[in-house]
Amino acid sequence: MLDKIESLKSEASSESGIIKDGKSLEDFRLKYLSRNGLLNSLFEEFKEVSRESKGVVGKNLNELKVYLHKIYDEKKQTIETLSGKNSETEDISMPGLKYNKGTKHLINSALDEILDIFGRIGFRIYESDEIEDEYHNFDALNTPDYHPSRDMQDTFYIDSKGKDKKYLLRSHTSTGQIRVMENNTPPIRVIVPGKCYRNEAISARSLAFFHQFEVLYVDKNVTFRELKGTLNYFAKEFFGEQLKTRLRPSFFPFTEPSAEFDVECFLCKGQGCRVCKYTGWLEIGGAGMVDPNVFEIIGYDPEVYSGYAFGMGLERTLMIKYGIPDIRLFYENDVRFLKQF
Ligand code: DAH
């Protein structure tokens, strides 16, 4: 038995020299290491070996087994390396894999641009919380109890049991006006960007959350003319060309007088088309002179100070700028959409 082990070992050793490829490697495995191979048949024979010899023969047999597996593993490795499966021999002259690089979301890059537009004329960024109390979202903005926007149907209230105040998710960034005035003295020139929440039915035109930016300027002798000038400046910078603008009389509890701000339809240049519903104009936000009541609530003297404020929906403004037909596209994370910006 020991002779057989020895001769198998030298046979395998000389045959290992001809293993050059997958085929010869497989032949080697079948001959020596497979279930019906020569190694296993020796193990079969081992069962018949006398008890006294089992120790020596067993040891040699196990050594043979290790030896054969070693040949197999080493040859396998060499063949794989030569055939390029092993990373060390990759062809470094091959073109690399293209990785998709992440980019800023359209909402964020537009916000950056808008903050920059206002930053250039001296407006600082002011961030205000998304969770607010009723006072800052409504009362201090001169919006009384019976105002429809306070309705449960429009505003997301937060369970405030056991709390000192009624909390909610802010329904507009106008809350930032109050926060900034409470904590500063005029002159104030800020832009407040951020998310707002409203309990809206989801459709192509509305979601339960969206972004706004609020602009507030308070100082002595601020006039409506300055408000108009700032809005025109924004329209020119953001839409990239001199679109006509107009202010339409409107009502907001926290501004007096109040207006809605329209820009000329960028598509038809005022001629009337499907996008502007044949009016030639697109509404982009609300504006007005800060209501003296708001100043009184804050503790500013309305005889001394005046100011203007306006707020715009970011998604809406972008839908107009790029002709985006459905607000849901912003948040579905479809790269085919996002990659276009
Ligand atoms: N907060 C108003 C809204 O969400 C928008 C608005 C209107 C903001 C008039 C203003 C303003 O600052 O003066 O509909």
**Same domain? 257 vs 300:** yes
Residue 174 CA, closest ligand 1 atom number? 1
Tens digit of pLDDT for each residue in 121-133?
999 999 999 999 9
**Same domain? 211 vs 67:** no
Count of structural domains, the chain = 2
**Same domain? 110 vs 250:** yes
Check pocket membership of 310 for ligand 1, CB cut-off 6 A: yes
Whether residue 91 lies inside any domain: the answer is: no
Contacts of 292 (CB under 8 A, 6+ apart): 256, 302
| Cβ atoms within 10 Å, residue 182 | 12
pTM of the model: 0.72
- Here the tokens at position 151 are 């309705």
Identify the pLDDT of residue 308: 98
Ligand 1 geometric centre to CA of 292 (Å): 16
How far, in Å, CA of 304 to CA of 300, rounded? 8
Helices (H), 18-165: 22-28, 38-46, 51-82, 106-119, 134-137
Burial class (CB in 10 A: 0-12, 13-18, 19+), 199: middle
Residue 288 CA, closest ligand 1 atom number? 13
Tens digit of pLDDT for each residue in 44-72?
999 999 999 899 999 999 999 999 999 99
Identify the pLDDT of residue 92: 81
Identify the pLDDT of residue 89: 62
**Same domain? 235 vs 297:** yes
Identify the pLDDT of residue 244: 87
Residue 166 DSSP symbol: -
Ligand 1 geometric centre to CA of 99 (Å): 43
Binning pLDDT at 50, 70 and 90, where does residue 295 land?
A: very high
* pLDDT of 174 over the 90 cut: yes
Give the domain range for residue 26. Answer: 2-82
Check pocket membership of 210 for ligand 1, CB cut-off 6 A: no
* pLDDT of 88 over the 80 cut: no
Identify the pLDDT of residue 229: 95
**Same domain? 235 vs 301:** yes
Helices (H), 125-223: 134-137, 175-183
Q: Which of 154, 310, 314, 317 to mutate to test the pocket of ligand 1 (most atoms within 8 A of CB)?
A: 310
Q: How far is CA 171 from CA 69, 123, 290, 304, in A?
A: 72, 23, 19, 30
153 or 229, greater pLDDT:
229
Beta pairing partners, 214: 192, 311
* pLDDT of 107 over the 70 cut: yes
Check pocket membership of 214 for ligand 1, CB cut-off 6 A: yes
- Closest residue by Cα to atom 3, ligand 1, is 172
Whether residue 98 lies inside any domain: the answer is: no
Ligand 1 geometric centre to CA of 228 (Å): 15
Check pocket membership of 288 for ligand 1, CB cut-off 6 A: yes
Burial class (CB in 10 A: 0-12, 13-18, 19+), 335: exposed
Tens digit of pLDDT for each residue in 201-240?
999 888 999 999 999 999 999 999 999 999 999 999 998 8
Check pocket membership of 259 for ligand 1, CB cut-off 6 A: no
**Same domain? 284 vs 181:** yes
Identify the pLDDT of residue 85: 62
Whether residue 96 lies inside any domain: the answer is: no
Check pocket membership of 291 for ligand 1, CB cut-off 6 A: no
Say if residues 210 and 317 touch (Cβ distance below 8 Å): no
Identify the pLDDT of residue 150: 81
Check pocket membership of 252 for ligand 1, CB cut-off 6 A: yes
Ligand 1 geometric centre to CA of 305 (Å): 20
- The dihedral built from the CA positions of residue 254, 244, 264 and 208, taken in this order, carries a sign that is negative
